[in-house]
Structure 1
């Protein structure tokens, strides 16, 4: 099938998700600086209130003409996002392709992204563990989707900035890149950036996102974001301390007080294994369940 024919077929399939350029201009106050969340090398991210969609708060990825993104790949991304349906996947609202624009529109969650709360003592260990369980559920779901539709994975690695939190502190994973290559996006910390031994992972796959999920687990338990300053890698420091039996030195003290004594070794070993051994998602889910089961036990003990 010619690419032009494929483009027309895809466009017809997703036409109900089309949002007009005028609606987006109105939602973002003409892309006002006050509504700019961040600038990226291939796309800028804006927030807004979409009046055509029940006054929904949204964020918009507006791809730059210089990104090199092909329209067919953009439509494939739209079609794939429209198939996702999971409580821990951020809701996809629609797209805009008017005036040669390429924009993806998602629901904006009340509490922003996880990276803002890594060191926040007001977010409890129970809540943070629930968030990690939610992300793991989303990853397991995505892995099934990629197998079903014969994708080779998604090109964005898991980061705490890509985990949004709703008003109930439920995790919502976002910004996947099933068909959009983000390799030249300077805002994305690549797997290779974390590896000090010079071994690069293969193309995006379950192995790579398990590795990056391990980084998120270390961020959660240590209460700080990768990297940790002066170009030091949190994951390299944390894995070394774990191997030396000294990871306690990095653990957030407020979190430690809320943990069952067995919860810390379970969680820290899982983070280490994700980085070093890349276990399967079924094993990851089992370990997180073990850690979750200990929460109620610990809460009964400290009452």
Structure 2
């Protein structure tokens, strides 16, 4: 393995960082002052390293072979992160393979992993949804290559592998278990005898030992419910998992009891009703037993964007609302409800805020010839097709030509 690994690593020569640089950056791997975490690969340290004539704070992951991972996972991280570039994927800055050391150097996500912030009173619901949306976009990039790269199945999607930067942007990380599949394969089925984390693993994996991109979707659904309820998907004691909460969460959704256990904190704005429904609906679909019934990550992204729009609209209305707007809205609400039903493409809404969002976006009426919308002052804005303004005789002459 040693000789073949060295041969493969030659193509990544530009990413090599000397061991002296890393030991200096980590104070010789000082656990007390520089260690910021640990996982299956080993401990993670923070430290400044020199890159392209500048110094950057980095996360430095040092392989500990006693945890069961080794050169195969080390090489996979390098090859995967060199090939897959996206704003919602953690960036590989370099590596060191020298003596007995195998070290990976990443961009530093200063706020750590998502699982540490599930019950934080400092994160608003808008921020929580944005984090989920960012992670979903990163996973969509891996699943839907659009001929730019091979499809990648992450195989270990969980809150601990979603990192957060200074601005709470989500970065999907840890590709040691990831597996590539052909871009034109609808399901990208693979066989793997050891992958994932208890509580997040696709239940069908235990029955078939097969993983697909839909397995990642299941794991992401678990993360969505963790964010919704503000806690991990399992209980544990003495370092051992005692109970997986996912079945209980699914039952709460089916019995329409989500409001009883959704994360709440008096210091943050509550989750808007339509945002709750959109968010929980897509989370539940991700957890469907049938892989065919689970949504694609592109669909998950779309739904999370809608949930964020609803939550952001509630925020903007509360900040900017005035008595004049409220009066106008209440006066015409029944009219707006009728409009949504008579639109060119009738639309459904789940709350008053979502009805407002629909009206702010606008709806097509009269066979698609009229566009009606509201501005933030509550004023109606109507755009009419030029065909409606033309003289009927002129229209006939134009049509006959």
User: Larger % of strand: which?
Assistant: 2
Alignment of 1:282-297 (within 5 A): 282-297=298-313
Structure 2 CA distance for partners of 1:200 and 1:82, relative to 1, 3 Å = same
The alignment's TM-score, normalised by the length of structure 1, stands at 0.85
Alpha-carbon distance in structure 1 between the residues aligned to 2:42 and 2:121: 31
2:283 alignment partner, one of 255, 271, 276: 271
What corresponds to 2:175 in structure 1? 176
What corresponds to 1:142 in structure 2? 142
What corresponds to 2:274 in structure 1? 262
Answer yes or no: is the 8 Å Cα contact 1:118–1:224 preserved in 2.
yes
Highest relative contact order (Cα 8 Å, sep 6+), 1 or 2?
Answer: 1
Deviation by residue 1:242-263 (Cα, 9 ceiling, x = unmatched) = 1111121110123995332211
Query: What stretches of structure 1 of length at least 5 have no aligned partner?
Result: none
Alpha-carbon distance in structure 1 between the residues aligned to 2:114 and 2:217: 18
Answer yes or no: is the 8 Å Cα contact 1:10–1:76 preserved in 2.
no
Alpha-carbon distance in structure 2 between the residues aligned to 1:199 and 1:73: 22
- What is the CA distance between 1:285 and its match in structure 2? 1.5
| Of 200-209 and 4-13, the range deviating more from structure 2 | 4-13
Alpha-carbon distance in structure 1 between the residues aligned to 2:63 and 2:70: 11
| Of 276-285 and 85-94, the range deviating more from structure 2 | 276-285
Higher alpha-carbon Rg: 2
Aligned: 1:160 with 2:159: yes
What corresponds to 2:349 in structure 1? none
The alignment's TM-score, normalised by the length of structure 2, stands at 0.65
Alignment of 1:96-115 (within 5 A): 96-115=96-115
- What is the CA distance between 1:39 and its match in structure 2? 4.4
What corresponds to 1:45 in structure 2? 43
What corresponds to 1:80 in structure 2? 80
Answer yes or no: is the 8 Å Cα contact 2:59–2:109 preserved in 1.
no
- What is the CA distance between 1:55 and its match in structure 2? 3.2
Alpha-carbon distance in structure 2 between the residues aligned to 1:214 and 1:170: 19
Query: What stretches of structure 2 of length at least 5 have no aligned partner?
Result: 181-191, 320-401
Alignment of 1:114-129 (within 5 A): 114-129=114-129
Alpha-carbon distance in structure 1 between the residues aligned to 2:36 and 2:216: 25
- What is the CA distance between 1:271 and its match in structure 2? 1.0
Answer yes or no: is the 8 Å Cα contact 1:154–1:204 preserved in 2.
no
Structure 2 CA distance for partners of 1:135 and 1:198, relative to 1, 3 Å = closer
- What is the CA distance between 1:229 and its match in structure 2? 4.7
What corresponds to 1:23 in structure 2? 21
Alignment of 1:221-236 (within 5 A): 221-229=228-236, 231-236=242-247
Structure 2 CA distance for partners of 1:148 and 1:77, relative to 1, 3 Å = farther
1:248 alignment partner, one of 254, 259, 262: 259
